[in-house]
Amino acid sequence: MIYDYIVVGSGIAGLYTALLAKEAGSVLILTKGGVEDCNTRHAQGGIAAPIGKNDSPELHFQDTMNAGDGLCDSEAVQILVNEAPDRIADLIKFGVPFDTLDGEIALTREAAHSVPRVIHAGGDATGEHIEVTLSRRVRMSSIKVLEYCLATQIILEAGKVKGVRAIDCRSGLIEEYECRFVILATGGAGRLFKYTTNSDIATGDGLALAFQAGAEITDMEFFQFHPTAVRLPGVPPFLISEAVRGEGGILRNVESYRFMPDYVSEAELAPRDVVARSILYEMRKTGSDRVFLDVTHIPARRVATRFPHIYRFCLDHGLDITKGLIPVAPAAHYLMGGVKVNTWGETNIEGLFAAGETACTGVHGANRLASNSLLEVVVFSKRILERTREITKATPTSATNKTDCYHLEERKKLKTVSRLNLSNLESLLWDKVGIVRSGDGLSEAVDILATWQALLSQPTDRPSYELNNMVLNARFMAEAALLRKESRGAHFRTDFPKSSPDWQKHIVFRAKN
């Protein structure tokens, strides 16, 4: 059978796109785990949309552009903010139960937003509510879903998508599936870092698939570190939503001192990169591996009802956040870069599209505005389907900023290097390609990663494919960060602490022909 669409991934981007695609043709979803195994369900804060009385698309546009620090694609951002209300209406039609107040959709404020515009569901369970709603609809639809099936290659014929090769993660059997269009929606690569809010599935598979097929990869140096993840011994980092600070949460150091006003006038509501670096500096200054988030001054009932998941998680680990401080530290959270696409979600390969965190649409620039990610999914996934319906019409790729193209060059191979395993990879990225970077540290990381990549054997199962993909994505990040000799947005270098107009451009990687 030749499918009209193959969607790789089963997060919100994959599910939403698949549900739209089934109205236009036959759809197959390939997902390396179960449908419910995805990163999106961890999205607590919400989805941004300019629907409030004191808000407007123009204001949302300006906030997004400001957060992106000179690298947002203005055309893509205009599309994002102008199409937002209609896409929220679509989610409501699908049955997503957004929270309401006095009969209207409830809005909250997050960092770098000038007004409350973040819509949420279940208080702090927005991603989960959207994902569960969409997965239920997919299960009830005609969409074919192959679980525990890892895509390993995009098959091309005469430079055009022909299908996907995949391995059954349980049997090891290799199968090929033909289609007209492939939509990559595999999420980001947050598992690359030692401390991360991402689930185990976030290994950058879609980026590796796209690159190996000849697609372009861009903005990989811009990885967002969330300022506040729970830091408790033996407990995996658990995201404490930015909305907690939006509702009045205060950051204190180990001496109970409120330190954020010392770093920036916006204090706790500064952009994420600023808050994350400030926390890191404060931890170093006090010799601690954590700071604390204080919500004890907020009415207990309001905390418990507005953030039920956070409240329950902390309570399950012996902490009542209405009475005690929450120990937190930054953790890897979101990839702003990805597969380079135009405003219709198209790559430079005919028939290949990318959506969600896998894609780089240009709306996030150097630093994503909080809660724009879920909005990006629904806005640009809709446009992908519109484009496939009119595929015979030529649509030029949007390119409003200068671009420099690079290849992953051969690097010096180290004679002595630590053994490549997941733990060592995560530690290397956290230590050398993390929140604060330096030229020396990045150079070291680049050499180690090149050596590891040269030593990799041909993958044969899910763990080995994932490790190969992660090393490739790590090289993108480290090489791009070393190339960008400035600090901008989420990319900060101690040897180049200021931004430079010479670097108001994008770094793009292409495979050698």
Choice among 272, 368, 387, 493 that is catalytic: 272
The 217-218 sheet, strands edge to edge: 359-360, 338-340, 217-218, 505-509, 402-406
Angstrom distance (rounded) from CA 497 to CA 277: 12
Nearest to 478 by CA among 410, 420, 432, 411: 432
**Has 272 been annotated as catalytic?**
yes
Q: Please give the structure tokens belonging to residue 316.
A: 């399950």
End-to-end CA distance of the chain: 31
Facing residues of 27 across strands? 5
Nearest to 17 by CA among 387, 355, 349: 355
Question: Residue 152 to residues 182, 290, 461: CA-CA distances in angstroms?
Answer: 13, 39, 10
C-beta separation of 45 from 241 below 8 A: yes
- DSSP string for 364-420: STTSPPTTHHHHHHHHHHHHHHHHHHTTTS--PPP--SEEEEE-----PPPSS----
Nearest to 335 by CA among 83, 131, 39, 50: 39
Facing residues of 2 across strands? 178
Angstrom distance (rounded) from CA 34 to CA 148: 6
Q: At 454, which helix (H) or strand (E)? A: helix 439-455
> Under the phi-then-psi rule, with left for phi > 0, alpha for psi from -120 to 50, and beta for the rest, what region is 308?
alpha
Nearest to 187 by CA among 440, 359, 424, 2: 359
Helices (H), 25-162: 57-67, 74-94, 126-139
Angstrom distance (rounded) from CA 361 to CA 364: 8
Cβ neighbours for 412, distance < 8 A, ≥ 6 positions apart: 447, 450
DSSP structural state of residue 356: G
| Residue 189 identity | A
Catalytic (active-site) positions? 272
